[in-house]
Structure 1
Amino acid sequence: MSSAETEVVCVSRDDPRLCAGYHERYPEGEAYPELPSTRVLWVIGFGEPVSVGRGERRSSFVAAPRDRVSMIGVGGLQHGIRLRLDPLDAFSLFGVPMRGLGTEFPEIDAVLGRQGADLTERLFEAGGWRRRFAVLDAALARLRARGPKPDPGVAWAWRRIAATGGTVRISGLADELSMSRRHLARRFHDQVGMAPKTAARILRFERAAELVADPSRSFAQVAAETGYADQAHFTRELRALTLRTPGDLRSQTFKP
């Protein structure tokens, strides 16, 4: 296990991003799972690179929304900032289709160009979390201001799916928008990073994973509260998405 000293700098449900500054030391060869998530993971690293994808070494990288577990290998000093971005905010910040990020954890300079590498350097040199996050906030504001705005129909559909924890009837969303289902699915995939049905599935999983961490709730209660047909259905979905059982998820306290 890691000998970790992690400082959470800002976590807010009302903010489209979840941010944490971290300073951790791991034994060589350790790995941790990134569970299925609708959020875009952006790691801005100042320490040792990590192993991602097919074993590529990365310091500062981006991971698109994902419908499967990805393992990230760590070792030595891990130091930097992690951001978990709302996908539509990431679409505006990076200015590229979310589906274009793929599954290979691209380096940030492959997404933002030289300004990505420059930002990493400025954050490292800033020193102190307060100063670093002031620099980061200013950079994000500039990127967001000049980046593309999400399609209003996609944004509305995303909010509807998210507000219901993935239980809304997807087939009805296009009808309410007076848009063809194919057109909505294509634009949604470009800007959110996954198809509407997949996003709904992962949002439901994310909510269930939060509730599973509460030992006062039975797995049957979690299944009922998050829209699964029953506990067996919930267990099958967890196995399909994570190769884990509800008990594994609870005991290991994995969070999406």
Structure 2
Amino acid sequence: MRRTDSIDPTVPAGARGVEMTRVGDRWRVTRPWPAPLRPYVHSYAGYWEAAASSYRVRLVPTGRAVVLISLGEPFAQVRRLGASEANGQVTGSLIAGLEDGPRECDHPGGQEAIRIELTPLGAYRLFAVPMRELTNRVVGLRDALGPGSEVLAERLAATTDWAARFDLLDFALSARIARGPDPAPEVEQAWRLLLRADGAVPVGRIAAEVGWSQGHLVRRFTEQVGLTPKTSARVLRFHRAVRLLTREGADLSGVAAACGYYDQAHLNREFRALAGTTPGRMAAARLAEGAIAL
């Protein structure tokens, strides 16, 4: 396995804006992404794991798509929670569309990677396909972005300087997004309305706001976002509940009421469906970038 042992993580990257933060056995490497990418990219970081012990994480729906460029050991398996082992996938670099349920990843450890979270409409521009084709799917990087993406991954792996890696990636992402399809303004407005309300807005009201029939909104929104407006609202409401549960003194009944669930039982059912666990366990485990350590 190739490692970036030549990088001294204790030395600031300095003028080129790279910051490294250690969390346990993992180094997280970040740099602000350029202004043209900011409407489309939600988060952007490199990872470098000092330990090579295997682990498993559960991924929960985030309302975002993910690009993972593997620079070291690939994930051994990525599978939908509850799926048979036969449906597991051996993967390297990959993309994951929007999800409406949990997924688990096994990893042998020693990962070195770049992980990019895209807004739904950023993913639509980058992937340039109907996003419903990627819903609840994990596919290889080449399958989603073509052979040029493999060349990029090889160049990133061959570069040991994180600032230079981010330079390469910024250029590639900006160029492809600039060529991508423009989302419908009505879909952009619908997504903003959902996001601002943490999902607590009826689909009928959104349709009226954007000037479309409800049926037409559902079709176009699902094509460009990947989830229906109703499912997107469900995911956004779930994430608001997760945020509230991590606050000191939070109680399940109060969180359920604040997020618009009928009662605590409804909150529990939604957490089971979307995360495969209970609200209490979810709060204790602490969600980090869509993942819960198992």
TM-score, reference length from structure 1: 0.91
Which residue does 2:26 correspond to in 1?
A: 5
Query: CA, structure 1 residues 66+6, in 2 after alignment: closer, same or farther (shift >3 Å)?
Result: same
Counterpart code for 2:216: H
Q: Which runs of 5+ in 1 are unaligned?
A: none
Question: Is contact 1:26–1:74 with CA below 8 Å preserved after alignment?
Answer: no
Question: Is contact 1:46–1:80 with CA below 8 Å preserved after alignment?
Answer: yes
- For residues 11 and 221 of structure 1, the distance between their equivalents in structure 2, rounded to whole angstroms, comes to 36
**Deviates further, 72-81 or 204-213:** 204-213
Could you tell me which of 166, 171, 179 is aligned with 1:138? Answer: 171
Could you tell me which of 54, 65, 76 is aligned with 1:40? Answer: 65
Counterpart code for 1:52: V
Query: CA, structure 1 residues 128+166, in 2 after alignment: closer, same or farther (shift >3 Å)?
Result: same
- For residues 224 and 128 of structure 1, the distance between their equivalents in structure 2, rounded to whole angstroms, comes to 49
Could you list the structure 1 runs, at least 4 aligned residues long, displaced by more than 4 angstroms after superposition.
none
CA deviations over 1:60-100 (Å, ceiling 9, x no partner)? 10111101000011113211111111010011111111111
Question: Is contact 1:11–1:18 with CA below 8 Å preserved after alignment?
Answer: no
1:251 equivalenced with 2:251 (yes/no): no
Question: Is contact 2:47–2:113 with CA below 8 Å preserved after alignment?
Answer: yes
Question: Is contact 1:7–1:22 with CA below 8 Å preserved after alignment?
Answer: yes
- The 3-state SS of whatever aligns with 2:56 is strand
- For residues 26 and 87 of structure 1, the distance between their equivalents in structure 2, rounded to whole angstroms, comes to 33
Counterpart code for 2:78: V
CA deviations over 1:97-128 (Å, ceiling 9, x no partner)? 11112433110110110111112112222222
Cα offset for 1:187? 1.1
- The 3-state SS of whatever aligns with 1:77 is coil
Question: Is contact 1:207–1:226 with CA below 8 Å preserved after alignment?
Answer: yes
1:219 equivalenced with 2:244 (yes/no): no
Cα offset for 1:229? 3.0
- For residues 125 and 225 of structure 1, the distance between their equivalents in structure 2, rounded to whole angstroms, comes to 49
- The 3-state SS of whatever aligns with 2:57 is strand
Query: CA, structure 1 residues 218+11, in 2 after alignment: closer, same or farther (shift >3 Å)?
Result: farther
Could you tell me which of 159, 170, 178 is aligned with 2:203? Answer: 170
Name the % identity: 38
Which residue does 2:152 correspond to in 1?
A: 119
CA deviations over 1:184-223 (Å, ceiling 9, x no partner)? 1111111111000000000111121122222332223322
- For residues 143 and 217 of structure 1, the distance between their equivalents in structure 2, rounded to whole angstroms, comes to 43
Which residue does 1:188 correspond to in 2?
A: 221
RMSD: 2.0
Alignment of 1:19-30 (within 5 A): 19-24=44-49, 25-28=51-54, 30=55
Which residue does 1:18 correspond to in 2?
A: 43
- The 3-state SS of whatever aligns with 1:7 is strand
Cα offset for 1:3? 6.4
- For residues 124 and 246 of structure 1, the distance between their equivalents in structure 2, rounded to whole angstroms, comes to 39
Cα offset for 1:254? 2.5
Query: CA, structure 1 residues 26+34, in 2 after alignment: closer, same or farther (shift >3 Å)?
Result: farther
Instruction: Answer with 1 or 2: which has the greater Rg.
Output: 2
**Deviates further, 15-24 or 142-151:** 15-24
Q: Which runs of 5+ in 2 are unaligned?
A: 1-22, 80-86
- For residues 8 and 223 of structure 1, the distance between their equivalents in structure 2, rounded to whole angstroms, comes to 36
- For residues 8 and 163 of structure 1, the distance between their equivalents in structure 2, rounded to whole angstroms, comes to 29
Question: Is contact 2:203–2:214 with CA below 8 Å preserved after alignment?
Answer: no
Could you tell me which of 263, 270, 275 is aligned with 1:237? Answer: 270
Which residue does 1:58 correspond to in 2?
A: 91
Cα offset for 1:129? 1.8
1:103 equivalenced with 2:136 (yes/no): yes
Question: Is contact 2:78–2:105 with CA below 8 Å preserved after alignment?
Answer: yes
- For residues 115 and 220 of structure 1, the distance between their equivalents in structure 2, rounded to whole angstroms, comes to 50
- For residues 207 and 111 of structure 1, the distance between their equivalents in structure 2, rounded to whole angstroms, comes to 30
